[in-house]
Amino acid sequence: MATLTDAHISGIARRRRIDLCFAVAGAVVLTLALGVLVALVTNLAKDGAARLGWDFLTSFPSRRAGDAGVKSAIVGTALVMFVTACTAIPLGIAAGLYLEEYARKNWFTAIVEINIANLAGVPSIIWGLMALGLFVYWMNLGRSILTAGLTLGLLVLPIVIVATREAVRAIPQIIREASYACGATRLQTVWHHILPYSLSGIITGSIIALSRAIGETAPLITIGALTYIAFLPPPPFGERPWHYDVESRATFDTAQRTQPLEDVSRDISGSHDSPTPSLRDGEITFAWRLDPGTPITQSRLSLPLSSGSMSLSDLVSAIDADENLAATISRAGRLRITADAPGEDPGEFCITNDTTGLIEAFSIAPGGGRYGATDWIMSEFTVLPIQMFNWVSRPDSRFQVNAAATGLVLLTLTLMMNGIAIWLRYRLRRSISW
């Protein structure tokens, strides 16, 4: 048996030292990495915290950095995330359940598995290209909330699938066997046991997936979402603000035209400076003819249109009260006024105040009525990361402050979502023991 020499002892001491060194080194590297996170947050906070306030969250973007806010971006983010969730979560759960509970070990399953692993690694910019080629041009969905939501939904689909599979895999086989022993079908087993037991794991995965989607910028730039948007998408069933609209239905014949359009508007509104849409109280002259050359019929209407707040149905009954005019609301929410010409069919409504020629066809549109439940989904939009990128791109350094503040909002959202997910996972680990 060998004896311990001094060399051995010093060797042990040396190895102990190395061991300690590495322990310290590891801690240092980890601290550095987390330090970057802290530096990033403080840097953003230093630049942007002063700007962050209720005003910032509830204002639209503006050319003045001090007035600009992220209202449209926050609403856009929420709506896009909603579509993303509706795409990724059901599809992801279903696919995950199939792969864990149903799939047989065959070539198809193998392909699907490799495929999902690959999809998880496809760079986000490539998803943007797919969306541009497939959704924007091929399916003609435009640069809408739907396109963005679908794109991001597919992008995070693999995350949901993997989370589902892991949650399902953690359920012991014995549960399934017990269920089958009671005579349950596979569907019943999945529906009554597998799905409920794995739900928290799935929810955790879904939250992580959404937190990834919320910060994605590149695929949305590719579909062309970098736009100044200072409005919100139409709310479902929301009242459509209506205003009078002068449309040139008839041929726009300059030879026959004797009055500029704005004068016509003035006749409707009685005010030159704000021609439409809010008609002031007072009298309005509707005058029309069916064709140039036929006599003009006139009707005078007194409408109590103070501040434009008259309801559409009141307007309809006011117009209907006139013996020559009839008003209807089309399914699209468009108010259409038709005029009876004696002895002829009701014609396209025209308004004119001169006796020589046809000027303008006229309808009240497209305000009034209500938006459909899903009009918003085809609306143009902006989201937080895009708004941030937009402001980062501004040469005016005051916008950098806005960019930092937006980053802060975005960071808060993602960290919060991740925090919730981590907390859920932690609770889950403690509460479930098979």
Partner 1 sequence: MNHRITLLFAFYSALVLFMHAPAHAQTMVRIDGSSTVYPIIEAVAEEFQAKREHRGIKVTVGISGTGGGFKKFVRGEIDISNASRPILVNELLEARQNGIEFIELPVAFDALTVVVNPRNDFVTQITVDELRKMWEPAAQGKVMRWNQVNPSWPDENLNLYGAGSDSGTFDYFTEAVNGKAKSSRGDFTASEDDNTLVQGVSRDRLAIGYFGYAYYAENKDKLKALAIVNPATGKAVYPSEAAVKDGTYAPMSRPAFIYVNKKSLEKSEVRRFVEFLLKEGAPLVEEVKYVPLPAEAYEKALDRVRKLETGTAFGGHNIAGLHIDEIFSRPLSNDVSDSPR
Partner 2 sequence: MSKAATTPVTLAPAAAAAGSLRRNKRYAAVAEVVLFLAAASSVLITIGIVAVLTYESASFFEHVSVREFLTGREWTPLFEPPKFGILPLLSGTLVTTAVALCVAIPAGTIIAVWLSEYAPYKFREALKPALELLSAVPTVVFGYFALQLVTPLLQKIIPGLPGFNMLSAGLVMGVMIIPYVASLSEDAMRAVPIALREGAYAMGATRVQTAWKVVFPAALSGISAAYILAVARALGETMVVAIAAGQEPTLTIDPRDKAETISAFIVRASLGDQPHGSIGYQSIFAAGLSLALMTLVFNIAGFFLRRRFREAY
- Kindly state whether residue 71 participates in binding partner 1, applying the rule CB under 8 A: no
- Residue whose CB is less far from partner 2, 185 or 285: 185
Closest to 286 (Cα-Cα) out of 374, 221, 364, 402? 364
Among 380, 418, 420, 428, binds partner 1 (CB under 8 A): 380
DSSP code per residue over 101-136:
II--SSHHHHHHHHHHHHHHHS-HHHHHHHIIIIII
- Kindly state whether residue 111 participates in binding partner 2, applying the rule CB under 8 A: yes
What is the C-alpha to C-alpha distance for residues 206 and 164, in angstroms, rounded to an integer?
Answer: 9
- Residue whose CB is less far from partner 1, 219 or 367: 367
- Kindly state whether residue 27 participates in binding partner 2, applying the rule CB under 8 A: yes
Among 58, 62, 188, 311, binds partner 2 (CB under 8 A): 188
The entry of partner 1, partner 2, none near residue 203 (CB within 5 to 8 angstroms by kind) is none
CB-CB neighbours of 290 under 10 Å: 19
Among 134, 170, 224, 418, binds partner 1 (CB under 8 A): 224
Among 45, 49, 57, 112, binds partner 2 (CB under 8 A): 112
**Strand-pair partners of 350:** 361
Minimal distance in Å, beta carbon 62 to partner 1? 6
- Kindly state whether residue 90 participates in binding partner 1, applying the rule CB under 8 A: yes
The entry of partner 2, partner 1, none near residue 118 (CB within 5 to 8 angstroms by kind) is partner 2
- Residue whose CB is less far from partner 2, 158 or 333: 158
Interface positions, 303-342, toward partner 1 (CB under 8 A): 308, 332-333
Minimal distance in Å, beta carbon 313 to partner 2? 43
CA angle 199, 203, 206 (to 5 degrees): 135
| Count of positions on this chain that bind partner 1 (CB under 8 A) | 58
DSSP code per residue over 23-49:
HHHHHHHHHHHHHHHHHHHHHHHHHHG
What does the per-residue mask of binding to partner 2 show for 202-241, with x meaning CB under 8 A?
A: ------x--xx-xxxxx--xxxx-x---------------
| Count of positions on this chain that bind partner 2 (CB under 8 A) | 97
What is the C-alpha to C-alpha distance for residues 294 and 82, in angstroms, rounded to an integer?
Answer: 56
How many CA atoms lie less than 13 Å away from 132 in the CB half-sphere? 14
- Kindly state whether residue 32 participates in binding partner 2, applying the rule CB under 8 A: yes
404 contacts 51 by C-beta, under 8 angstroms:
yes
- Kindly state whether residue 374 participates in binding partner 1, applying the rule CB under 8 A: yes
- Residue whose CB is less far from partner 1, 162 or 365: 365
361 contacts 248 by C-beta, under 8 angstroms:
yes
Among 26, 35, 123, 260, binds partner 1 (CB under 8 A): 260
What is the C-alpha to C-alpha distance for residues 59 and 65, in angstroms, rounded to an integer?
Answer: 11
Closest to 303 (Cα-Cα) out of 295, 311, 293, 291? 311
What is the C-alpha to C-alpha distance for residues 181 and 184, in angstroms, rounded to an integer?
Answer: 7
Question: Strand 335-339 and strand 350-351: pairing?
Answer: unpaired
The phi and psi torsions of 181 (rounded to 5 degrees) equal: -65, -30
**Strand-pair partners of 363:** 245
> Residue 270 class from Cβ within 10 Å (0-12 exposed, 13-18 middle, 19+ buried)?
middle
- Kindly state whether residue 238 participates in binding partner 1, applying the rule CB under 8 A: no
CB-CB neighbours of 238 under 10 Å: 14
- Kindly state whether residue 51 participates in binding partner 1, applying the rule CB under 8 A: no
Among 112, 175, 218, 378, binds partner 1 (CB under 8 A): 378
Minimal distance in Å, beta carbon 168 to partner 1? 15
Among 118, 294, 298, 412, binds partner 2 (CB under 8 A): 118
- Kindly state whether residue 157 participates in binding partner 2, applying the rule CB under 8 A: yes
- Kindly state whether residue 199 participates in binding partner 1, applying the rule CB under 8 A: yes
CA angle 128, 129, 133 (to 5 degrees): 120
User: How is residue 239 annotated by DSSP?
Assistant: B
| Residue ranges in contact with partner 1 by CB under 8 A | 60, 62-63, 86, 90, 146, 191-192, 195-196, 199, 224, 226-231, 234, 240-248, 252, 254, 260-262, 274-278, 308, 332-333, 366-367, 371-375, 377-380, 392-397
